[in-house]
Amino acid sequence: MTWGDEGGARHHDENAFELLAPLVAAATVRIHPPPTGYAEGEPLPPPWGSGFFVAPEWVLTCAHVALSGGGAQGGRREVGLTFRGVDRPVPGRVEWARPEAAPWEGGMWPAPDLALVRLHAPPPPPPEGPGCVWLSERTARLFTREEVAFFGAAEVAGQVVDVSGRCTVKGELGSEGLLRLGNEDEVLRGISGGPLVDLARGEVIGVVKGRRAGQDGGLATSVIQLRRLPAPAGPVLGVGDDLYQAVVHGHDAHHAERHLGADSGQPTWTDAQNQLPGAPGVLTPGQRVKLLGLLAALPPPVSTPRLDALVGELRGRPYEGALPAPRGWRDGFGLLHELRGEFAGLEAVLRYALHAATDERPYPAKPGTEKRLLEWVHAVAEDAPSLPRRVRTRLRLEEEARLARADPWSATLQPLDVDWLDAAAPVVRLDSLAVLELDSRFWEANGYDWRVCARPSGRNDPIDGATEVGDLRRPPERLLAALVEAFRRGDEPGSPVPLQVAVPYSLLQVPFDQWRLTPDGPTLGEVRPVVVRCTDPMPGAEDGEELATLRRARWAAAHEGRLVADVLDCHGGLPRALPERAALLGRELTTVPVLCRAPAVGGEPAALHRVMASGFNVILWQRELAARDPSCEHLHGSLTRLVGGGACDRLLESLWRMREAAGTAPDGVPSPSWMSDLALLYGEPEGEMPEEDFLEAP
C-alpha cells in the first residue's frame, strides 16, 4: 500500500470509531466564559462551544466560539475551559483568532474561523489529564472519501452532554479550506470548535464550524488553515519566536513521548493507528511518530521557499495551490504522501530526513539532535531489505557530501546588516515577487476584481481572487489573507519579497504601501518593498519596434547599471514644464525619471502617462494624498541616497528602508510628508513578464 492510497475502513475491518473515540474524548474540551464572577459550587454557565488539545497547553477551536464573550481583558481575550481531570473552568487566553469579529451582526464568520487558546498553567499529563489529538500532516483538499466522525458537547434537555456523530465530507465551500459535511448525522449547537476525525487513518483533519443555516449538513475548517498563524515579526532565535512552530513542535514531541513511554500502559494514537487499515504507508505509525518527534527537536526550516525547494526536489515539482504553503518540517514530510511507486516513497522520506538533519539553521540545534535523526535514517534503511542497493549508496554519498561542508551544524544565519546603506549587496531579490492584480468594475461603483499570486523564480502560483465592492483604502480580510500567504511563499530571513500591485492607470494613486495587514501593525511599505505596475494603458502596448527596443534596453540597464535620478517637472523649487518627447527619448538608459509635482501643486495632469509612453518602466512620482509642503527640497535632497549608487534592487531597498525609518521614528519626530506620497512604478515591459495564470474571480 502506498502513501497515496485512499483506502478506508470496510464493514469487516476493526471498528475504527471504538478505537479512536476514547482518545478524542480525552482531548476534547468545553469552552466557557472566563472563570471569574461565579462562586465555587455555583452551576457552570453553558459552554460557548467545543475545542480540543493539539499540544500540551494549546487548544484549537473556532474563532466564533473563543470570541463569543466579546470584550478583551488587558489586551487578551479570556475564556474558561473544562476537560478530563478538571471539573471547574480553568483560565485560558486567546492568543490568536482569525477573523477577530463577525463581519456583521448575526452573519456567518468567514474562513478560516479558527482560534488558538493557551492555558494559563499546564494541565496534568495523561492519564489523569487530557491528551492531544493527532493532527493530519498531509496537505490535501478533501483528505478522504470515507466516513468521518465529529465530537463535542451540546446542551440537550437542559443538560450539557458529550456528543459524537458520523458523516462524510461532500466537498468544499469556496477556496479557503472550508469542508462541506453531509447530512448523515445532525450537527448540534455547541459542537462548533470540536474535532473532525478521519476514521480510516486515525487523524484529525478539521475543526467543526457548525451547521449550515437552512441547509443540510454542516461545515468544517481544514486543519491546514492553522498554517495561517502569523509569521514572526523579528528574527527566529528559538522555537517560541514562531507561534506556529511552537504549537506543531509541542504536538509532535507529545506524541513521540507518549509512544516511547510504552510502560504507562495507556493506549496512544499510534496504537490505534496500528490497527487501522488506512494508516499504514511506507512508514509504520511507530516509525512515523518517531520521525516527527526527531524533526520537532530541530530548529524550524529557515524559510518556506527553502523548504519548498527541498520538497520540490524530492517530489519533482514545487508546491502549488490555494491552500497555505508548508511552514515546518512536519508539513514538508506530509507533502511526500503524494508519491507513488514501490520505493519512491521510502527513498524520498529518508532523503528528506537526511536533508533536514544537515540543513542550515536559523539558530543552532541542541547537541546530538542531528546525529539522532541520521541514526534513524540508517536504522530504517537497514530494516528495509527490499530497498535497492543504489538507494542505500545514494543516501550514504549524499550524507557524506552534506557533512563535508564546513561545520554545517554550527552554520546559522547572520543578522541583517543594520547599516544597510553601506552593505555590500542589497537584500531585496527581484527574482521573486508577490503580485496583486486589481481590475476596476467601471459599471459598478467602488467595485473591483482582485487576484493574488506568488511569483517565485518567474512562475505564477495563483493563491486567491474575488470580486469586491468597497473602499480600496480598507482592503477586505480575504485579500489581506491572500497577501500574507504570498509573502510567506517568498520571504527569506531579512529579505522580504517585494509586492507588485498591477492596476489600471486610474488606480495608480491608491496608496497600497500604506495598507496594513493588521489594524495595529506596520504599513506594508514599512516591512517590504511595494511597487506598482500599470496595466491600462500598458506601457509599451503601442510601441513601435524602435521604442520597444529602447524600452527593453532601459529595463536591462536599470537592473545592471548605476541609476541616476532626473527630476523632470521642477527646478529651483518651482514647477516647470516636462521636456518634449524627443528630449525624454534621449535620456540615458540608466535614468530614473522623478515627478515631484502633483496637479494640485503645479504638475501636469498627464505627466506620468507621458513619461511612461516615452519608454520608461521605472519611475518615481509623488501622489497627492494629503496636504503637504509644496516644496520639493526634502525630496531632492534625498534622491542621491534613494536612487544613486546601484541598480533596481538597491532602489527598491532604499525606498523600503526610508519608509521603514519614517514609520519607526520616535514619538514626537515627524516623518517627512513627501515619504507618504512617494510611489515607485516598476513594471516589466511586454515580453518580460511570465504568462499570467491568475485565478478567475467568481
Within a domain: residue 543?
yes
Q: Which one-letter DSSP state was computed for residue 511?
A: -
Q: Which one-letter DSSP state was computed for residue 297?
A: T
Q: What are the residue ranges in the chain where pLDDT is below 70?
A: 1-14, 37-41, 69-76, 103-106, 212-216, 262-264, 279-280, 338, 340-343, 406-426, 458, 537-540, 600-603, 625-631, 665-674, 687-698
Q: Clarify whether residues 564 and 662 are in a common domain.
A: yes
At a CB cut-off of 8 Å and minimum separation 6, what does 393 contact? none
Confidence (pLDDT) at 128: 82
Within a domain: residue 11?
no
Separation in Å, CA 315 to CA 41, 256, 308, 344: 58, 26, 10, 9
Domain-ending residue, one of 410, 442, 460: 410
Number of domains observed in the structure of the chain = 3
With both helix axes pointing from N to C terminus, report the angle between 648-663 and 633-643 in degrees, rounded to the nearest 10: 130
Pick from 106, 124, 185: which is nearest to 152 by CA?
Answer: 185
Within a domain: residue 104?
yes
Q: Which residues pair with 51 in a beta bridge?
A: 29
The residue segments making up the domain with residue 190 are: 16-226
Half-sphere exposure of 144 (CA within 13 A, CB side): 26
Q: Clarify whether residues 115 and 52 are in a common domain.
A: yes
pTM for the structure as a whole: 0.87
Q: Clarify whether residues 243 and 219 are in a common domain.
A: no
- Write the secondary structure of 589-624 as one string of H (helix), E (strand) and C (coil): CCEEEEECCCHHHCCCCCHHHHHHCCCCCEEEEECC
Please tell me the distance from the alpha carbon of residue 130 to that of residue 132, in angstroms, as a whole number: 7
Confidence (pLDDT) at 77: 86
Q: Clarify whether residues 380 and 517 are in a common domain.
A: no
Asked whether 685 and 555 are in contact (CB, 8 A), the reply is: yes
Within a domain: residue 426?
no
Provide the 3-class DSSP secondary structure of residue 36: coil
Confidence (pLDDT) at 633: 76
Asked whether 450 and 434 are in contact (CB, 8 A), the reply is: no
Please tell me the distance from the alpha carbon of residue 662 to that of residue 664, in angstroms, as a whole number: 6
- Cα dihedral angle (201, 203, 209, 215), rounded to 10 degrees? 10
Q: Kindly report the CATH number assigned to the domain that includes residue 28.
A: 2.40.10.120
Laid out side by side, the sheet with 530-536 consists of 461-469, 447-456, 432-440, 499-504, 530-536, 678-682, 618-622, 591-595, 564-567
Q: Apex CA 63: angle with CA 242 and CA 516, to 5°?
A: 60
Q: Clarify whether residues 138 and 287 are in a common domain.
A: no
Q: Clarify whether residues 360 and 487 are in a common domain.
A: no
> One-letter amino acid identity for 230?
P
Within a domain: residue 283?
yes
Q: Clarify whether residues 451 and 544 are in a common domain.
A: yes
Separation in Å, CA 666 to CA 246, 354, 614: 32, 47, 42
Q: Clarify whether residues 406 and 437 are in a common domain.
A: no
Separation in Å, CA 646 to CA 17, 566, 639: 64, 15, 12
Burial tier of 308 (Cβ tally within 10 Å: 0-12, 13-18, 19+):
buried
Q: Which one-letter DSSP state was computed for residue 534?
A: E
Within a domain: residue 696?
no
* Cα 546 off chain centre by: 44
Q: Clarify whether residues 206 and 126 are in a common domain.
A: yes
Provide the 3-class DSSP secondary structure of residue 636: helix
364 φψ region: left (φ > 0), alpha (ψ -120 to 50), beta (else): beta
pLDDT per residue as tens digits for the range 286-342: 999 999 999 999 999 999 999 999 999 998 888 888 889 999 999 999 998 767 655
Set of cell numbers at residue 502: 498591477
Confidence (pLDDT) at 39: 61
Q: Clarify whether residues 41 and 73 are in a common domain.
A: yes
Asked whether 192 and 152 are in contact (CB, 8 A), the reply is: yes
Own/partner long-range contacts of 33-37 (Cβ < 8 Å, ≥24 apart)? 33/69, 33/79, 33/80, 33/89, 34/69, 34/73, 34/78, 34/79, 34/80, 34/89, 34/91, 35/80, 35/88, 35/89, 35/90, 35/91, 36/78
Within a domain: residue 422?
no
Separation in Å, CA 375 to CA 1, 239, 254, 399: 26, 23, 21, 12
Within a domain: residue 645?
yes
Q: Clarify whether residues 485 and 620 are in a common domain.
A: yes
pLDDT per residue as tens digits for the range 604-638: 778 898 999 999 999 999 887 655 566 677 788 88
Q: Clarify whether residues 371 and 515 are in a common domain.
A: no
